[in-house]
Each structure stands twice: as C-alpha cells, then as structure tokens.
Amino acid sequence: MMKVFGSSVLFFFASALAMTAHADSWFEKNSDLYPIQTAPKSVKKTSETKYRAVTPFDAGSNNLALEVGQVFLMGGTSQYSDSLGTRVNYTYGVSELFAYEAALSYSSHSDGLFSQVALSSGLRMNFMNYDQVIPYANAGLGFYRPNQQISPAFSQSATLFGIYLGAGLDLKLTNEIFFGPNLKFQHAFGKTVESPIGPVSMGGTSIDFMGRVGYTF
C-alpha cells in the first residue's frame, strides 16, 4: 500500500514539473502574443510631491519693493536742501543667506536745483531670521546721474560711478507681503566737467533713510 501511495506521489510531482516546463516553453515561443509586462525603470515604487510656499527672501524668491523716505545730502551737494526720495528695489534670493539686488532711485532737492537718478546693483546678506524679522546688510556698486542748475538758463549733468553700503530690517507680514525700514549710504565719486560758465565739480554723498513695502512672487 505504501509503495502504491509513494509511486502516486512521485507520478504527481513529475507530471506537474512537465506541465510547468511545457507552459514556460509555450509562452517563450508565443511571447509576441502574450508579452511579459514589467514596470518601467523610471517609475518609482513610492513617490511624494512636496509643495513649499515661497516666503520673502527665501532661496529662489523674487521680491519687489517700493521705498519712500528722506534723502540727506552731504559733501559736495550739502548746499542743497534735504528732500524726499523714492526707490524701486528688486531682490532675488540666491540662498537663505545671500541675495542679489538691484535698485533704481530718484530724488529732487531745493525746488529742482539739484536732482539725482541712481541705478545700483549688489549683494544682500541676511542675518538670523528671528520670528518673522530679517535683519540684513547690503553693499554694491552704482551709476549716478546728478543734475545741477548752475544758472537760470543752464543745467549741468554727468554720469558718475559710485558705491553704496546699507542695512535694514524686513518684517514678513504674510507669505507675499513684507515691509521695513532701511538706511543706505551712497557715494558718487567726484568729477569735474566743463560748462559755459567754467569747470563744475559733480559728485557727492547722500544718506537715505526709507521705509518700504514689498511683494514676493
């Protein structure tokens, strides 16, 4: 009885192996009819997409601000009165610590006897981010275009090269809006230009104290 049972078991496993081998060979011969489906290598078993809101002065952020404040004239232009000035500032966040910035500013003094347009560009360095406040310092180079009224019928202008240094605070109101004060020292290197009334010295120094409001996108 045991011999018959053992022979039956062996016969069963031999039949199963033969059917499996036959099935494999049949599928290989007819692989074009029943292609084996494999997952593409580019598909990962698990994938997650993370969305992060860009806040003011984050890495990769674009920040545009409008600034208004007092411009104090010094040096060769100190004979003119101090006045309000405006500035448009753009900042791109390179990293959490550094940013690139560019600014266009304008101010007019003593009822238009002296005015200046400045285009500057430089580097901003953010210090510790305390709560929603970001203190920073900035520095860079600029081109300055002062215009002086040297007679009732004639004015003189020149394009000067200069530098600037500054510091300020920005407060994040939301993920898009920020505001804060800043102080900026600007110096346009002096240059003597010829005019109908003789040589005129151009150039000078200013200190700008402004407040600003900006938008991040």
Output the six-digit token pair for 182. 């800043």
CA distance 211 to 68: 6
Model confidence band, residue 216 (pLDDT cutoffs 50, 70, 90): very high
> Hey, which bits of the chain come out as E strands?
62-74, 83-93, 98-109, 114-126, 133-151, 154-157, 160-172, 177-195, 198-216
The fold of the 62-216 domain, in CATH, is Porin (2.40.160)
The four Cα atoms 180, 185, 191, 194 give a dihedral, to 10 degrees, of 50
Look at residue 73 in the predicted model and tell me its pLDDT. 97
Model confidence band, residue 52 (pLDDT cutoffs 50, 70, 90): low
CA distance 151 to 161: 25
pLDDT (average), residues 63-89: 96
Three-state DSSP at 8 gives helix
pLDDT (average), residues 30-49: 47
Look at residue 143 in the predicted model and tell me its pLDDT. 97
Look at residue 195 in the predicted model and tell me its pLDDT. 80
Mean pLDDT of the chain: 83
Q: What's the pLDDT tens digit per position in 133-146?
A: 999 999 999 999 99
Which among 165, 172, 144, 137 is positioned nearest to 63, based on CA atoms? 172
Domain ranges of the chain: 1-35, 62-216
Query: Does the structure show a pLDDT above 60 at 7?
Result: no
Model confidence band, residue 198 (pLDDT cutoffs 50, 70, 90): confident
Question: Are the beta carbons of 99 and 126 closer than 8 angstroms?
Answer: yes
